[in-house]
Amino acid sequence: MNEHPPIRILLADDHSVVRMGLEALISTEPGLAVVGHAADGNEAVLQYRKLKPDLVLMDLLMPQMTGTQALFQIRTEFPAARILILSTSDGDDDVYRALQAGAFGYILKSMPGEQLIPAIRAVMRGEKWIPPEIARSLANRSLREELSPREIQVLHELASGGSNKEIATVLNITEHTVKAHIKNILAKLPARDRTEAVTVALHRGIIHL
């Protein structure tokens, strides 16, 4: 007979099929129990307040409020909250932002399912869970020069197909300043042109469509 109460888990993912699959996997493991579901970041925060789970499995890219925003909100209200990110994104900026916001670990959905249970148990012991693939991504990030908030705004506009003139109008800056920002963006990423800059930024998780 198990003397310890089960680890109570909240699942936060905007795809119901993913949540169902996770619950099916977790339910086969003794000592673990799914106590709630959330389909977006706002719901994740509300469900955490209501259920006070032992651990949250949180997706990053959700509507209403992103996983990173929900993570930050939960950790601000409940500093002891244990949150494990489970995401399709391996972009180093996504990983970095999640860990900075207080995530205890990061798992890619493409990774083998058997990593999930050890990750949950490690986080519940107070340990960090960062697989080698993610650790290498973070190490590479530390070697790169970071983009400024304004440069990221320009990147968002580039991804939307804006011309230099249109970007200048939207951001209320001159076309000369836009060109200077784009030059810096190309150097920092690095990228050969605007299209490659957007592609690199999307892959790294600096911006999202």
Q: Is the pLDDT of residue 187 over 60?
A: yes
CA torsion angle for 36, 38, 44, 48 (degrees, to 10)? -10
The mean pLDDT of 133-156, rounded to a whole number, is 83
> How high is the pLDDT of residue 112?
64
Nearest to 197 by CA among 206, 185, 205: 185
Domains and CATH numbers, the chain: 7-141 (3.40.50.2300), 149-204 (1.10.10.10)
Q: Which of 52-56, 73-77, 101-105, 203-207 has the lowest mean pLDDT?
A: 203-207
Residue 91: pLDDT band by 50, 70, 90 thresholds?
A: confident
Q: How far is CA 123 from CA 91, 130, 192, in A?
A: 22, 10, 41
The mean pLDDT of 5-22, rounded to a whole number, is 95
pLDDT, averaged across the chain: 90
Q: Is the pLDDT of residue 154 over 70?
A: yes
Q: How far is CA 173 from CA 11, 36, 151, 164, 208, in A?
A: 43, 47, 12, 10, 23
Q: Is the pLDDT of residue 2 over 60?
A: no
Q: Which of 3-7, 42-46, 143-147, 164-168 has the lowest mean pLDDT?
A: 143-147
Rg (CA), the chain: 19
